[in-house]
Amino acid sequence: MLTATAIAHANIAFIKYWGNRDETLRLPSNNSISMNLANLDTRTRVTFNPNLKADTLTLNQIPQAGSGLERVSDFLARVRALSGVPHFAAVHSENNFPMGAGIASSASAFAALSLAASAAAGLTLNERELSRLARTGSGSACRSIPAGFVEWQQGTGDSDSYALSIAPPDYWHLADCVAITCKAHKTTGSTEGHALASTSPLQQVRVSAAPQRVEQCRSAILNRDFAAFAEVVELDSNLMHAVMMTSTPPLLYWQAPTLNVMHAVRRWREEGTPVCYTIDAGPNVHVLTPQRYAQEIEGRLRQLSGVEDVLVAAPGGAAQILQE
């Protein structure tokens, strides 16, 4: 049976990926750094079947058609080309985090799909090869292949653009308290957003100093230096949103509750609590803090107006095959 099941975690970027040098291969404009999110994951089963007339996809038990299926089918075509397995595949995928909660699911989805589809097709890929494959499905998915704290090296081409673990999950006891401010779907997806990045006059400024921020973030993680970490993480998130807001057409992902959380986090830090924020392509705010403060921060976030829910995640492991 050409079948396999895999699980992968979502990740949150501390240094952001925004803009590609090559849109087709998803070669990014800069290195990025992220942390896998332990209890936010996608579980995917892939079965190549000679009787199928086309690829099929069910997401949380619901059959998919249109652009979602197309993106998965394009990806499976790459696995067919690599493995020589000619059959179409049935893909069943489930997220354990609420859909539409604004937690990017493409990272965990394409990481789990890369592992399950390559294993089902009989390919034995090492971690770097898997990360490269996942990258072609969704850029940030390459960072959900290795464990813990991860750096995506932009590389010079397809062969050297992949993610590596810089520290295991238990290296630093950080927590991501995700303040869900709006459960509605975002209007402009990341793929379209990346294509707009170069229209912002600020993108070049953001990209040119990215190596220094990557360096500062990597050392802050390795030294478990929260103050240095907070400074560079907020700066990098603000720079990405400045690019988004100044592209043509402009993208404005923040809602009123987003700003509410940002101001609260800054106030708490001024009062002495080690805490900082980072925001992806949506209105939710990822609030980072050492694990011993997580419960306190979760409670405070829940009191803020416009915060609908809070999910708390610790650093997560690598993508894995599940034996069934």
Pick from 42, 106, 114, 278: which binds ligand DP6 (CB under 6 A)?
A: 106
Q: Closest approach of Cβ 324 to ligand DP6, in Å?
A: 28
Contacts of 299 (CB under 8 A, 6+ apart): none
Stretch that binds ligand DP6, among 118-126, 160-168, 189-197, 301-309 (CB under 6 A): 189-197
What's the token pair of residue 111? 């990481």
Pick the closer one to ligand DP6 by CB: 18 or 254: 18
Q: How far is Cα 36 from Cα 163, in angstroms, rounded to an integer?
A: 12
Stretch that binds ligand DP6, among 92-100, 175-183, 190-198, 296-304 (CB under 6 A): 190-198
Footprint of ligand DP6 on 199-238 (CB under 6 A): none
Residue 104 lies near ligand DP6 (rule: CB under 6 A): yes
**CB distance 154 to 119 below 8 Å:** no
Pick from 9, 26, 45, 218: which binds ligand DP6 (CB under 6 A)?
A: 26
Q: Closest approach of Cβ 33 to ligand DP6, in Å?
A: 9
Residue 186 lies near ligand DP6 (rule: CB under 6 A): no
- Sketch the per residue contact string, 280 through 319, with ligand DP6: x for CB under 6 A, - otherwise: xx--------------------------------------
Residue 132 lies near ligand DP6 (rule: CB under 6 A): no
Q: Closest approach of Cβ 307 to ligand DP6, in Å?
A: 20
Count of chain residues binding ligand DP6 (CB under 6 A) = 16
Pick the closer one to ligand DP6 by CB: 209 or 322: 209
Q: How far is Cα 25 from Cα 133, in angstroms, rounded to an integer?
A: 10
Q: How far is Cα 273 from Cα 176, in angstroms, rounded to an integer?
A: 15
DSSP for 5-16, written as a single string: EEEEEEEEEEE-
**CB distance 226 to 268 below 8 Å:** no
Exposure letters 43-61 (e unless 16+ CB within 10 A, then b): bbbbbbeeeeeebbbebee
Sequence letter at residue 230: A
Footprint of ligand DP6 on 134-173 (CB under 6 A): 138-140
Q: What are phi and psi of 229, to 5 degrees?
A: -60, -50
**CB distance 139 to 28 below 8 Å:** yes
Q: Closest approach of Cβ 285 to ligand DP6, in Å?
A: 13
Pick from 191, 199, 204, 320: which binds ligand DP6 (CB under 6 A)?
A: 191
**CB distance 42 to 108 below 8 Å:** yes
**CB distance 47 to 3 below 8 Å:** yes
Binding region for ligand DP6 (CB under 6 A)? 13, 16-18, 26, 32, 104, 106, 138-140, 190-191, 194, 280-281
